[in-house]
Amino acid sequence: MEWIDRLNEAMRYIEAHLTEETDLRELGRIAYCSPYHFQRMFSYMAGVTLSEYIRRRRMSLAAVELQSGEVKVIDAAVKYGYNSPTAFNRAFQSVHGVAPSAVRDAGVSLKSYPPLRFVMSIRGARELEYRIESRPAFRIVGLSEPLHPEVERNFEIVPGMWARAAQSGAISRLAARMDAGLPGILGVSFCGAQESGRYWIAVASNLPEGEFDACVVPAYTWAVFPGTGAGGDIQELERRIVTEWLPDSGYEYADGPDVEVYLSPEPTGEFEVWIPVVRARTAEA
């Protein structure tokens, strides 16, 4: 329950700072994980991205204030962090389906999104295979691009990288450099609390990088989950790791990269998901 308690503390922090810019580092600190991992956990557990949840909460409160006549539209826009009434109007209509100027009209229908609270639920009827593995640091060679601080933006960045790498033949050329005892094409998300996020399409290799770049994945203890299928199957496995395995595992996210290991080239081939873990800390630790 300690893990759930930390998530709910993060929800209380969000609620107390809805009129301020979202501090992702503080949310990660509260939840004992990186900002990137916090956003991923939130979206898997809540079924909505963190930025969308915050937008809905802000627009819910704005609707109440506008309907009561407490504030004008321009004041609500400034209060909830919008640079112009036009941007605020767009956000408001996307949530409520009406313009903010219409909220006091008779019979207008609005939506309310109450504060989110996490509770422990019973799930896990299906088995989830995993192993815990300690691995020394290893060097990777490949292509990389910056990740966006908001996780949902990366749902466009990362697939675009894979498409370009496949089209250019880079994946095949990378496979020829694989020599460090770790088979497979790797998707590595460097997303720690103290670093700018970066995504790599790479292989483990000690060979010269040539046309590619190189970096080192530090030593970690990993929770490794095998699977088969395509991209959607990987995302479903990652959702199950966060919602079913992690809460009761005795582990929590370490401040390190996530790794997807693609073991076969087929679209529905074998893969593994690696998450860096440490033993769960208590509130007093």
Rounded to the nearest angstrom, the gap between the alpha carbon of residue 260 and the centroid of all alpha carbons in its chain is: 14
Q: Which amino acid is at 235?
A: Q
3-class DSSP state of 249: coil
Q: Which amino acid is at 142?
A: G
108-162 pLDDT, tens digit per residue, is: 899 999 999 987 665 656 789 999 999 999 999 999 999 887 777 888 889 999 9
Picking from 18, 116, 30, the residue whose alpha carbon sits closest to that of residue 64 is 18
Instruction: Give Cα separations from 186 to 134, 152, 273 (angstroms).
Output: 18, 21, 10
42-97 pLDDT, tens digit per residue, is: 988 888 999 999 999 999 999 999 998 878 999 999 999 998 889 999 999 999 99
Picking from 283, 251, 31, the residue whose alpha carbon sits closest to that of residue 134 is 251
Give the helix ranges, DSSP H, for 80-206. 85-96, 154-168, 170-175
What is this structure's pTM? 0.77
